[in-house]
């Protein structure tokens, strides 16, 4: 994984490793490599395909170059709360997206949370669409994220996660979007001046394995791994929610970042400016899929 060990994803991977060791009496050893220590963004899918690693937990956005439908999770303001994101991934659309992964010999095992993304930057508090004009944002590789910033008159630069801190320090980009957990553990708060609490986008993960590897496991081992993962998934989602709230309080107390909270009206204004993102994605993957996300979102409101 690319994130630090002290995130909900990092802690859950470690918990999975510990429980699996215990439950298989040491027969299965899961090794966890945080902080892009083995592979960085852009290298990880090949490593999973060729068997250099057996499991990954990338952000859904990073799957979208190979599987454009996964951009649905990147749609701005599509998830008013976590429950809405979970109902999409745990429902029929989630199953269809998972089935697609098998075309490339990947098997999706679970979905984990990081949280909702917020904007950080070095220039000014971001409240209105105009405030985004001309800023350079680092993004994950997803066209919806690129469109999102372009619709606001900003530039979007795709970049591996482990290069972001340095890019913010040396000014290659002046802004980024991420969850409180990533902002905190990557120390973006040390190099950025402003944080806007917008909850505009969902950041979640797919726990992926190599289909042939998984099918080659002895059935009783596979069952222990799958049962354990199911249990750890519930645990991970709870931790993600708790850590998000706790770390926001810590950032506020630290007082280094100037924090802006958007009013409902400001959110609606931003949301309106982002309509072209929905139109573009509908053209790429079909109106029907996008409508299913919109319907799911309305149920959550
Ligand atoms: C990012 O690249 O910003 C995130 O995907 C990192 C992560 O895995 O949470």
Atom of ligand 1 nearest to the CA of 1: 8
Q: According to the model, what pLDDT value does residue 233 have?
A: 98
pTM: predicted TM-score of the whole model, two decimal places = 0.95
Best substitution site from 10, 114, 149, 204 to test ligand 1's pocket, by max atoms within 8 Å of Cβ?
114
Q: According to the model, what pLDDT value does residue 102 have?
A: 97
Q: Please write the tens of the pLDDT for every residue from 23-78.
A: 999 999 999 999 999 999 999 999 999 999 999 999 999 999 999 999 999 999 99
Q: How far is the CA of 108 from the centre of ligand 1 (A)?
A: 18
In whole angstroms, give the CA distance from residue 286 to residue 284: 6
4 and 183 in contact (C-beta within 8 Å)? no
In short, whether 3's Cβ falls inside 6 Å of ligand 1 is yes
Residue 275 has a CB neighbour count (10 Å cut-off) of 11
Atom of ligand 1 nearest to the CA of 205: 8
Q: According to the model, what pLDDT value does residue 301 have?
A: 57
Q: According to the model, what pLDDT value does residue 299 have?
A: 82
197 and 262 in contact (C-beta within 8 Å)? yes
Q: According to the model, what pLDDT value does residue 300 have?
A: 64
Q: According to the model, what pLDDT value does residue 107 have?
A: 98
In whole angstroms, give the CA distance from residue 104 to residue 176: 30
Largest CA distance in the chain: 59
Residue ranges in 132-263 assigned as alpha helix (H): 143-151, 164-169, 180-185, 211-215, 219-254
Helix axis angle for 275-285 and 143-151, nearest 10°, is 150
Atom of ligand 1 nearest to the CA of 178: 3
Q: What is the mean pLDDT of each run of 10 residues along the chain (301 residues)?
A: 95 98 97 94 95 98 97 97 94 96 97 98 98 98 98 98 97 98 96 97 98 97 98 98 97 96 96 98 98 90 57
Positive or negative CA dihedral for 147, 153, 159, 163?
negative
Residue 106 host element (H or E): strand 106-121
Residue 283 host element (H or E): helix 275-285
């Amino acid at each position: 994984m690319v994130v630090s060990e002290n995130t909900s994803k990092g802690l859950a991977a470690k918990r999975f490793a510990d429980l699996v060791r215990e439950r298989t009496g040491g027969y299965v050893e899961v090794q966890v490599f945080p902080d892009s220590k083995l592979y960085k963004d852009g290298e990880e899918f090949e490593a999973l395909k060729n068997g250099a690693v057996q499991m990954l937990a990338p952000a859904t956005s990073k799957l979208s170059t190979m599987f454009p439908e996964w951009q649905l999770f990147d749609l701005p303001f599509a998830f008013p709360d976590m429950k809405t994101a979970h109902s999409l991934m745990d429902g029929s659309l989630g199953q269809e997206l998972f089935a697609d992964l098998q075309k490339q010999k990947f098997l999706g095992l679970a979905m984990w949370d990081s949280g909702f993304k917020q904007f950080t930057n070095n220039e000014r508090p971001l409240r209105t669409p105009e405030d985004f004009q001309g800023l350079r944002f680092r993004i994950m590789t997803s066209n919806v994220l690129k469109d999102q910033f372009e619709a606001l008159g900003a530039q979007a630069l795709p970049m591996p996660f482990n290069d972001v801190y340095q890019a913010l320090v040396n000014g290659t980009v002046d802004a980024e979007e991420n969850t409180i957990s990533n902002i905190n553990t990557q120390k973006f708060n040390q190099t950025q001046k402003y944080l806007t609490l917008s909850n505009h986008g969902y950041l979640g993960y797919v726990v992926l394995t190599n289909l042939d590897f998984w099918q080659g496991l002895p059935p009783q081992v596979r069952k222990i791994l799958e049962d354990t993962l199911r249990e750890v998934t519930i645990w991970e989602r709870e931790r993600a929610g708790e850590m998000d709230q706790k770390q926001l309080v810590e950032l506020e107390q630290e007082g280094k970042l100037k924090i802006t909270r958007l009013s409902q009206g400001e959110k609606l204004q931003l949301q309106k400016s982002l309509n072209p993102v929905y139109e573009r994605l509908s053209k790429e993957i079909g109106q029907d899929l996008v409508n299913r996300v919109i319907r799911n979102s309305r149920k959550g409101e």
